[in-house]
Structure 1
């Protein structure tokens, strides 16, 4: 057995109450999960997997997916979670980045490359490569280590106090850090974990009625849950949220809907191991705060010139933690530029309050946060421009009450072509994951520009929000998509 996370899972699975259920499937007992992991390990070793090799793991929020992760770790390999229904462009980009030879889906092992991946010292001791959107449009592979994530789980165990009698409901994809740590923490605690494949109000209501005690969900899910009437949660004791900004109004609505439930907002990034700050539901005067650092985290707020910002002054939030990433896969230059000394540059703008809490006031990066998913606008633009009738495209996140941000796109067609918005939307839907498909598309003769004459994402909304002829120019599409 290799790696601290494998040891944590094995110890958790040995606890008598541990079980992994599925809302729409049979689930698996602790002994079945352990047996599945052993089969995966044997299959990988027979296929010649080497220590620290990346192995793609097809994720469908099934109980067996966690057994597969354990089997990959027992074989000494590094898991690369990728959704079973990932778009072809996304799957191809991740395969190019990792150069992995093997993909495992349950117990089905496929060869996806002819040659072994190169040996990389960055993957020594690594547990996961989690891909996030980058400002260049290419996915970034964040390499996370066993020991660092094990330390984070210990911090979160102390902070959140999961219990063996808890029923932890996770409607979050296990391809992202929030879903991964929430699931591992439940196993570590010997609790019952319930994986939800598709979030709906009815699904969550049934889980609450069945005795859910802890819910892990992004704010978009909470907004949708409350919009259709908060379902009773007779045994619900905690709601954990993160992945996007929690608005003061939403926090108050959650606390008002379930007065006996503790709301815990967790701020962090994949690169820092997640959950760098925490804020528990409290006084209205604290609204908008991300709270205080979790154990082992320190921070700076700095001006553009790198000097410390004064109390109340806005600057970039930079974080130091022992639970952070090894680095970006095959991108030493990006890894180096993402740090100032030993502090990770979040790109978020923040200020320190007199009470010692930190407040996020904006983002200096252009990454779109839609429904808790971080999306590169350039990735969407590149996909739209791959259509043979499209000459140019520009995307931006526009504030949206339900999603946090909706994706708006301005598209310029090639001369003489008559592509419709509906045709382009269907094409994008076939080539991008659902949550990356623009919610609003507007055709224009030119891209919006700023004072310098350069194309400006900040100006996208000036065109998309004034468009009223939805039958020919814009098509609002606002599915939850997470």
Structure 2
């Protein structure tokens, strides 16, 4: 019993010259990966793994990880990607949620529970259970089906046009939907996939200087990579980004740093199969939106009162797609609440612009309630990033006895520049309404990030509360962690 993704991987790995390279290893050819998949399938059959049974896969962004996924799919099992370096509490929570019996790491099959997991009709036809980061609560297991992801890969192939002569660099973890689809699409297209085990600007610069033609990275990675100027990338033709908001300042830096490479900003969620909107800004003047729906996607913007939002009005973005999740693992009620009239409730606030593009305003759960005013942190971040000395900013609401919530901001300056919190606050007062000016500003070398490499708004207060005393003195902040 195999699913669509198993067939897609098998066909891609069989193409002449197919291979998956590693930034810190030798990599494997398509033939070697196929052979590894056969060994994995044999181990699982011998252990008595049943069709539709969840199996944990230890992920280290190694070539063999993709062969392991193929091996699982060949016996009809459902892969649960878990990073090899995941904290014990995280691993334990996922094990408890899936009730899986087995964890596989390369060719090491370990029993992690004695009792077989329950029969779950939801897992019939499933390929993956991808756990969300859980920044707003306990992680949820998003169940993704073979057929839906197969359809999404075909759509992305038409949208992005990967070629057999491409070298696709992926510093994204294969526990993250962006890393998963970018890797599967590269193999499907016959391109060479270059996996990065641990992101560093130096590692990526080396790959770009060699033969990389496509780079897939979240904006946080791009900011770090471009902090000291764009490294040479003579063959780079496309930069794919997503997973967090792309501000106009960063878009300008990417477009000017690599003028011959197309910037492609992709918006979506794990629940919808990712890449529901696409924007191709040619310069910073065209940035600031998530663009238009991709093939097979329709959307609504719904006001708080449930009525459709008119153009220019803010409401919740809801997405309908045939490539979405089968549901949340053991979460029928969560699934019901997430879907309304077959539209997934993203939790993102958006508005339709006069040019027909959709613009994000923020997340409903991240709206800051300061002194009775409702403020979208993304609006403040975009305004701060128009300052010529600022490379990136991240804001969040932090409980405050007087205001209800105060606005805290982490700011990354461009290399070699200096700015005090008081100077920036005065500048912001001339560009924002007074109640939107951050109450606390700290400077850092990087934005706080979560496990997937995306900027984490939930971690802003962790940094700002520790550093608030220094920041309030109006001094240039020391690097985070110092």
Q: 1:236–1:434: structure 2 CA closer, same or farther, 3 Å change rule?
A: closer
Q: For 2:410 and 2:150, locate their aligned partners in 1 and report how far apart those are by CA, in whole Å.
A: 36
Deviations 1:55-99 (A, max 9, x none): 000000000000000001001000000000000110000000000
Aligned to 1:245: 245
Aligned runs of 1:176-195 on 2, under 5 Å? 176-195=176-195
Q: Does the 8 Å CA contact 2:408/2:461 hold for their aligned counterparts?
A: no
Q: For 2:267 and 2:118, locate their aligned partners in 1 and report how far apart those are by CA, in whole Å.
A: 34
Q: For 1:399 and 1:237, locate their aligned partners in 2 and report how far apart those are by CA, in whole Å.
A: 34
Give the deviation of 1:286 after TM superposition: 2.7
The two structures, once aligned, show a CA RMSD in angstroms of 3.1
SS in 1 for 2:34: helix
Aligned runs of 1:163-202 on 2, under 5 Å? 163-202=163-202
Matched pairs, number:
412
Aligned runs of 1:378-457 on 2, under 5 Å? 399-401=409-411, 438=459, 441=462
Work out which structure has the larger RCO, using CA pairs closer than 8 Å and 6 or more positions apart in sequence.
1
Q: For 1:344 and 1:396, locate their aligned partners in 2 and report how far apart those are by CA, in whole Å.
A: 31
SS in 2 for 1:35: helix
TM-score (norm 1): 0.80
Is residue 76 of structure 1 aligned with residue 79 of structure 2?
no
Aligned to 1:468: 470
Q: Does the 8 Å CA contact 1:440/1:477 hold for their aligned counterparts?
A: no
Q: For 1:111 and 1:198, locate their aligned partners in 2 and report how far apart those are by CA, in whole Å.
A: 28
Deviations 1:214-247 (A, max 9, x none): 0000000000011022101100000000000000
SS in 1 for 2:208: helix
Aligned to 2:7: 7
Deviations 1:18-48 (A, max 9, x none): 1100010010001100000000001001000
TM-score (norm 2): 0.80
Give the deviation of 1:199 after TM superposition: 1.1
Q: Does the 8 Å CA contact 1:224/1:402 hold for their aligned counterparts?
A: no
Q: 1:439–1:135: structure 2 CA closer, same or farther, 3 Å change rule?
A: closer
Aligned runs of 1:19-30 on 2, under 5 Å? 19-30=19-30
Q: For 1:283 and 1:231, locate their aligned partners in 2 and report how far apart those are by CA, in whole Å.
A: 19
Q: For 2:339 and 2:176, locate their aligned partners in 1 and report how far apart those are by CA, in whole Å.
A: 22
Q: Does the 8 Å CA contact 1:223/1:402 hold for their aligned counterparts?
A: no
Aligned to 1:114: 114
Is residue 31 of structure 1 aligned with residue 39 of structure 2?
no
**Structure 1: which 5+ runs fail to align?**
370-375, 378-393, 404-431, 443-460
**Structure 2: which 5+ runs fail to align?**
368-376, 379-395, 398-403, 414-449
Q: Does the 8 Å CA contact 2:252/2:283 hold for their aligned counterparts?
A: no
Q: Does the 8 Å CA contact 1:220/1:402 hold for their aligned counterparts?
A: no
Q: For 1:186 and 1:40, locate their aligned partners in 2 and report how far apart those are by CA, in whole Å.
A: 22
Q: For 1:297 and 1:168, locate their aligned partners in 2 and report how far apart those are by CA, in whole Å.
A: 26
Aligned runs of 1:210-359 on 2, under 5 Å? 210-282=210-282, 284-359=284-359
Q: For 1:17 and 1:397, locate their aligned partners in 2 and report how far apart those are by CA, in whole Å.
A: 53
Q: 1:465–1:319: structure 2 CA closer, same or farther, 3 Å change rule?
A: farther
SS in 1 for 2:333: helix
